[in-house]
Structure formats: C-alpha cells, structure tokens
Structure 1
Amino acid sequence: MLLFSVFLLLLWSQVANAEGVMKSDQDKPDLCLLPPKVGKCKARLERYYYDDETKECTLFYYGGCDANENNFEKKEDCEKRCGDTGKLVCPPVPVGKSGACVESCGDGCTGGQLCCSNGCGHSCMDGIKKPIPRTPLLGCPPVIGKGSCKVEKCGVIDGQPKCPEGQLCCYNGCTYTCVEGVATEKPEICYMPAKVGKCKAKIEKYYFDAEMNECTLFYYGGCDANENNFDTKEDCEKRCSGSVHIDICNLP
C-alpha cells in the first residue's frame, strides 16, 4: 500500500511539472518581445537581451540609462526569464469562415494545443506565436496650402526651441513649426530591433527605435547586421523618421 501511495505521488508530481512547463511557455513575459534599448548615455556595458527573431539571448552594449526590461546582466538570467519559445495565442478566425458549431475541447486540450474559437464553436488548435505589438510611427502631416509665417520656428537652426514631446518639426507651407505628428506607414526595416551581432567590434551606427519614434545611437559588433543599421543619423531619419532636419542654407 505504501509503495502504491509513493507511486501515485510521483505520478502527480510529474503531471504537475509538465503542466507548469506548458504554462510557463505560454505565459512568456511581454518584456521578451521588446527590442534592445541602448539608451542615450555613452557607457559600454555588456548586457544580454532576448532576440525574438533568432530565439536566443544575444549580447549588446548598453549605454547606461533609459533601459527597458529586456536587459539582463547575464545570459543565464535572460534564458531563465525568456527561454527559447514564444508566447502562444489562439490563431485568428478567417474572415467569412467558421467551423462546426460544437464545443469539442472537452476536459482540455493535449499536446500543447489551445482551446480556441473556430468562428462558431470551440476546438483544440495549435497556438501561434503572439505578434509583437507595433506602436504607430509618426510623421509630418501633408502640406495643404500656405500656413502661417508668424508661428514660432522650431529647432532646425541652432538656438531655436525644440518641439515638445509628441510633436514634430514640420514645414507648413511657409516656415517650420511644431505640429502633432500623424500615423504613417514606414518600411518594415524601421520596426526591426537594433542588432549588435556576435562580433566584438564597436562601430557607431544608428537604428530607428519604433518605441521612441526616433533614430538612436548603438554600437554594432561588425557582423550579422539587419537593415535597421545606418552609418549616420541623417540616413536613418531620411528612411524612417518623420521629423525634419534640413540644411539651414536652403531656408527661405
């Protein structure tokens, strides 16, 4: 009887552990989906972030301030928190299509599947990786007619005031002034995270930080780059940013 009780206890422990692992995989924190954030400071601190594209924890050089939560001192800490599987969610129901109007999940799904809506009832389905939420990128609104020439000019010339947070320096048909940005479509590369790569060089590059809606300095290792990698801030802004940076010699 004692041996049978021990057997049941061990069996229950294994089932509980398996459920815990499955739950852990599905409940991966959203911080693991954040891009690496170098920050505006100039330090060069070795840190690790979880790269959702490669499914591994990768070295990058942190500037020392303005970090987000996807920032770990040790690779082991990163792997412990984020692992190598994405958070799973139910797939979207195709528009205009639905499955059988029955509830077929029963006592739960097995094999890592989720109980999902099929458009009418529910059935067990393979989960899909949760997509990374995208913050709309802001750009200058289109110029319609001639705006006021008496408004305060923004920081296109040294000494002029910079725009408040959330506004952009845009041409209004007469001069450059601060206005509210409008949502714009940007190239796919502007949403890519900064990719330091596995090499050990320290090359100053710029990437477009979609979370901050600005081009930010980072230190590129010298290999394994993605396309969100620019030699100058101006090149980055020309491709991805909505703010205006112009040659003051060409001002009217």
Structure 2
Amino acid sequence: MLETYAQTSSNSHYGERSAESSNSAIDPICKMPQDPGPCRGFQRRWSFDLSQGQCVEFIYGGCKGNANNFEFKEDCEERCGAYKGYFSPEDEVAIDFINTSVCHLPHERGNCRASLQRWGFDASSGRCVQFIYGGCGGNENNFETKQDCEQKCLANIPNSKPADMNDAIDPDCRLPKEVGPCRARLRQWYYDVSSDQCLEFYYGGCRGNANKFQSKEACEAKCKSGELDHMSEL
C-alpha cells in the first residue's frame, strides 16, 4: 500500500524535512485555512491550499473570513503560487501520500445550503461517487467532475476497483442518500454503492434526489447489480 511505503520510505522523511523547511518561507496569508465566513452569500473566490500546493476555488459567504481569499486565481497564484513546487522531485512519494490522504476524507456537505452536484472519492468502495455540496466549507475531497476525482485519487490508490464496475450502475443509483431539508419522516429506500445494497432511510418529504424509492423491491430492480455480485466473487 502507498501509505505504508510513504511512511517507511527514506524519500518521505526527506520530504517531511523539505516541506517543513520551505513551509517557513511561505507567506503567512497563504498558510491560513480556507474560510467562507459566517454570511450566506455565494461568491466564487480562490484560496491557496497548502496541502495541495496550489490555488483552489471555493464559495465565499461575503463577510469576514480571512486574507487567504482572492477574487481571481491569478491574484492567488501571484502571491502564493510560487510555493506550488516547494517539494523537490525526490519528494514524489510524499506528494502521493498527501494526495491519498485527501482522498480518504469523508464527503462533507459544508455549512451553506446550495445543492451542487460534486464528486468525491469513497475509500470503502474504491471509486468516485456523487454527493451534494452546500457551496461552502467542506474539505478537499470535493471535485466538480468525475474525471477530476479519478485523476486525483485513482492514480494514487493501487487497489481501486475497476471503473467498469461503476459504469454498470445507473447514474441515479450513484447519488448519495439525501434526506432533504423538510422534517417529515417518510420511510424510503436508497441504493448504497459501497455495499451494493438497498437500505432504508427516512425522507424529509421535499427535494432530495433520484436515489429514493418507496420499496426495497423498486430500489433493487433499478440499482442492484448482479454483475457486480459476480465480479466481487472472482
């Protein structure tokens, strides 16, 4: 496994020293965590992500926050982007370890109330799956496209499941369980990709998504994959 190799490799120890020494030279603003602030606006901004060594987009609420907040990607890179390559080529193992750690983060909706379709890596199933992002906060395991997620995570995790297993599943069945904002308690069923099972949950009564069925039988008829069962037995 990559994590074990990264922890025991002499290159990773070198990478830790290299990152630590160069980290002290980074502009303090660029070390600040991404902060959407307490307001509920929807402004696209950029901040420098120290773990990725690059400027990433986020949703700013419109008030407070911190100085690691740039209107344009170019402004962020002008101030912080010089540190994008602070790992030397010998630190490739350490960089892969950082990327893999990002992919093990849980899917987080965040603090805001938008309903944005995003992709995140599901470590339990070894694949990229869709989830609903609120628009601010959350973590780095959040990608606009499936391709971005796979490029970041599947390349760094050697035991990932084949993509064709995921392609056999109806797109509606890949959506995460979504209770919705209302407060009813309606018994429904959804398909859980990681376990290849239809599971019961309580639906709030409004919004939500298409991964929602009135019976287990209806869920299994659309989502349960006999092909996946056969492949898992091989």
Question: By percentage of residues, which structure has more helix?
Answer: 2
Question: Shorter-normalised TM-score: what interval?
Answer: 0.3 to 0.5
TM normalised by structure 2 equals 0.37
Question: By percentage of residues, which structure has more strand?
Answer: 1
Larger radius of gyration: 1
